[in-house]
Chains A and B, each alone.
Chain A
Amino acid sequence: MPAITVQQTPDSQRAARRLYGFLSNQPPSWYGLGILLLVAWATRPALLSPLLLLAILKQGAILGVVTIGQSLVVRSRSIDLSISGVVVVVIWIVTSGAIPLPVPALVFLALLSGALIGTINGLIITRLRASAVVVTLAMAIVLTGSVVAASQYHQPGETPDLLRIVGSGRIGSLPIAAIVWVAVLIPFALSLRTCVFGRYLDAVGSNPTAATVSGIPSLRVMSITHIFSGLTTALAALLLVGSVSVGNTNIGQDMVLNSLAAVILGGVSFGSGKGRMLGPAVGAFMLTYLFSLLIGFGLGAAGQAMVQGAIIALAALVFTFRSR
């Protein structure tokens, strides 16, 4: 009687395939971070010291908070380039002294204005169908121009103590700014997984036509992501005010580009939300670490800009090749 042999894929091979599938689905930001840590360990192990990493965490918190909002906007197939404008507005509200209110009220006002700017962006983009890129860029210019014009003849103000504590302080060795970042990130991540808005965002990003055909309010979803982006940008600006590194006048511009890079590296792209919240967060940390490393190695403003541009291009290329 002939024996019937059945070729079975050995368990090890199946497991390996599954592992490969899992790994290749992870956002590039994890790999980027891994490579950076490896390079640091190989060249200057001092760069891996917990003290330094915590400092990076503190600085990266600002970018991280902005990235939360940007990743939402990008998932709904829009973009927010008005970040620098919101930052300027918030800094003015909180430090100029032109508004005679106690600091907590100013903080609330700052967050409110961020939300308001996001609302306006969302309205113009969804109702007037104007290009999100141009609208948010124009908004940045309008805001920056107006605020600088209004405040240029006044003395730059003092950072309120409350914000200085939040922005630069630590609890133990943990930077408060990082705690704020995590405190915003985790609820966002969790609630997006469990609330209706999160499901709708997944749907709208995945297939806007199908979303409309099945009755999902896609326009409202997109507007809301812009409101969230305005809020997180305002919060990040508050952290920024409190941190020591306000000297760089270009920081608003840097934030925009880096938030986009972090989002794309984090596996989120126009419509696709595979990276969820964690991918872009890791991307934000990775980028902050990268730039600290590069600056430590002597990279000036010129080199930083070139690296930024190259990263965005590379991240976009990687994404295009993956989705082919």
Chain B
Amino acid sequence: MLYQAEKAPHRKAWPPLIEGIDISMNFGNTRAVSRVSIAGHAGSVHAVTGENGAGKSTFMKILAGVYRPSAGELRMHGKTITLRNPRSAREHGISTIFQEFTLLPNLTIAENIFIGRESGRRGWINRKQMHERASRTLNSLGVDIDPGTLAGSLSVSEQQLVEIAKGITTDASVFIFDEPTAALNGPEVKKLETLIKDLQARGKSIFYISHRLDEIFRLCDTVTVLKDGQHVLTTPCSELDEHTLVTLMVGRPIEDLFPHRSSGQLSSALRCERLNSGPGRSAVNLNLNRREIVGLVGLEGQGQREIIRAAAGLMQTPHATIEKFNSVGKAHPVDPSAGVARRLAHGIAFVPGDRKAEGLYLDLSVAENVVIGTYRDSALYGHASAQSSLVEDVIARIGLKVKHPKQSVTTLSGGNQQKVLLARALIADIDILLIEEPTRGVDVGAKADIYRLLRGFADEGGAVLVGSSELTELIGLCDRILVVRAGTIVAEIDGTQASEETVMSHALGVSQRQSTEKTQ
């Protein structure tokens, strides 16, 4: 459905204050946003929602001047505008409150509000004036913090208020909030909602990017759903309910990429209790069985990344108890404060999600990247055998297409690079694989190979934990899916029974409805 303005009699002002028309954004070969049009009106709170990776953040960053769109046009008050950088967006009156704030931690609130356009004549700073103006703005927002406080000592909620104050003092007409309540508690969320309603009353055009459906329905008058970088629907919130919204966000045909699940006796491989799921969050218990692929899923920042890294030994989890069971069922305690190397000695390997930053050695060849997984038992002065036959074995097993194992890793496609990381893990003698985002940035063919590999590993007696944000992948691949929300495992779904809607509903916290009414 296309964006249809005529169906919106409740809008306060017409024409739109700001519009993105036919916006597309490419990053290299990936199309993050594809011909999306969204308009914001004065006095309207417009939600933009979708799954992880749907393109909502990217679209908003285009409005914020962080990215320049590959195609499409931006218009404000009917006139075409070009945003060269975030400062230019600010000068046009677009104020964005990102998840990562742009405050300077060692500057006071007043200084942060006015940095770049400080009050005072020719080079001097009139601190008194800045202080007064900051006080006034903060008061108008109903806040009572001393503008002389350093930004670095503020809570997340207070920092957010400062960002909003910045926007007000620049007389912004558009406010964009990117997942604003992610780090706020109950009362702080209420305060934010009051502020947003206040901005709305002042005639601002507000965009609200979020996946918190209760907030969307409480606060916003319009909602746009994006999926896979494309526009799905824009409609008044009054014409929608939560379940329909979830269905719009997901609901794809699940491709035939996945190998058959095996059935059979399950024996315990890893038992973790009281794993750290993030600062200030309660601990979780996690059990992995041999021959099983378990999925771990949640919306951004819900704790699934911390859980898998705590199990892997990358994150501190001092109060946990971890036990590894070998193939005959004997339990070996694992020291929770020991790191990745010790985990490897137990046969537990971790493959990170960001292969360029945390996984690959871009200066080294494919063979070198793979074989480095075999040295953990050798002393530093020991011989580092190239193990070429073993390397070639693993490369063949994985289906890694290289002209020569000595070629540089940078020449490989995303899928093949991911396979290199897997090869490094598999070449070592491991039986538990903890892997984040196994197919991010990977083409379809390589995806199928990787799924086959993971299933094969499990069939041979291994245990796999897959952290992923691709629902279709988890549903197709995993035997069990654990859904994480707010640092706890809120649901454990059988892989064969799972659907995108059920998983997403649990992730969002939407109440379940009967499985018979699935699609709308």
Q: Do chains A and B touch in the complex (CB under 8 A)?
A: yes
Q: Footprint of B on A, CB under 8 Å?
A: 194-200, 202-203, 205-207, 209-210, 212-217, 220-221, 224, 272-274
Q: How far is the CA of A273 from the CA of B382 in the complex (A)?
A: 20
Expressed in whole angstroms, the minimum distance between the Cβ of B360 and any Cβ of chain A is 7
Contact A215 B360 (CB under 8 A): no
Q: Say which residue of A203, A213, A214, A220 sits within 8 Å of B364 (CB atoms).
A: A203
Given A194-B384, A199-B384, A224-B380, verify A273-B343 contact (CB < 8 Å): no
Q: How far is the CA of A196 from the CA of B371 in the complex (A)?
A: 11
Contact B380 A195 (CB under 8 A): yes
Contacts of A213 in B (CB 8 A): 314, 340, 350, 352, 358-359
Expressed in whole angstroms, the minimum distance between the Cβ of B297 and any Cβ of chain A is 22
Q: How far is the CA of A220 from the CA of B376 in the complex (A)?
A: 14
Contact A196 B382 (CB under 8 A): yes
Contact A210 B358 (CB under 8 A): yes
Q: How far is the CA of A213 from the CA of B425 in the complex (A)?
A: 12
Q: Does B36 contact A (CB under 8 A)?
A: no
Contact A202 B314 (CB under 8 A): no
Contact A195 B381 (CB under 8 A): yes
Contact A199 B368 (CB under 8 A): yes
- The residue on B at minimum CB distance from A272 is B363
Q: How far is the CA of A202 from the CA of B369 in the complex (A)?
A: 10
Q: Does B328 contact A (CB under 8 A)?
A: no
- The residue on B at minimum CB distance from A224 is B380
Q: Say which residue of A197, A210, A214, A273 sits within 8 Å of B380 (CB atoms).
A: A197
Q: Does B424 contact A (CB under 8 A)?
A: yes
Contact B361 A196 (CB under 8 A): no
Q: Say which residue of B340, B352, B380 sits within 8 Å of A200 (CB atoms).
A: B380
Q: Does B362 contact A (CB under 8 A)?
A: yes
Given A202-B368, A203-B372, A214-B372, verify A195-B383 contact (CB < 8 Å): yes
Q: How far is the CA of A207 from the CA of B360 in the complex (A)?
A: 8
Contact A209 B358 (CB under 8 A): yes
- The residue on A at minimum CB distance from B357 is A209
Given A195-B384, A206-B362, verify A215-B379 contact (CB < 8 Å): no
Q: How far is the CA of A272 from the CA of B222 in the complex (A)?
A: 52
Given A196-B379, A197-B381, verify A210-B360 contact (CB < 8 Å): yes
Contact B363 A199 (CB under 8 A): no
Contacts of B381 in A (CB 8 A): 195-197
Given A207-B362, A210-B361, A274-B363, verify A215-B384 contact (CB < 8 Å): no
Q: How far is the CA of A221 from the CA of B371 in the complex (A)?
A: 18
Contacts of B314 in A (CB 8 A): 213
Contact B384 A198 (CB under 8 A): yes
Contact A215 B344 (CB under 8 A): yes
Contacts of B352 in A (CB 8 A): 210, 213
Q: How far is the CA of A274 from the CA of B362 in the complex (A)?
A: 12
Contact B340 A214 (CB under 8 A): yes
Q: How far is the CA of A273 from the CA of B368 in the complex (A)?
A: 14
Q: What 10 A-B pairs come out closest when comparing CB atoms?
A: A215-B341, A215-B340, A206-B361, A206-B363, A197-B380, A196-B384, A196-B375, A199-B384, A213-B358, A196-B378
Q: Does B414 contact A (CB under 8 A)?
A: no
Contacts of B382 in A (CB 8 A): 195-196
Question: What 0/1 pattern do residues 319 to 343 of B give for CB contact below 8 A with A?
Answer: 0000000000000000000011101
Question: What 0/1 pattern do residues 406 to 431 of B give for CB contact below 8 A with A?
Answer: 00000000000000000010000000
Expressed in whole angstroms, the minimum distance between the Cβ of B106 and any Cβ of chain A is 20
Contacts of B93 in A (CB 8 A): none
Contact A200 B375 (CB under 8 A): yes
Q: Does B373 contact A (CB under 8 A)?
A: yes
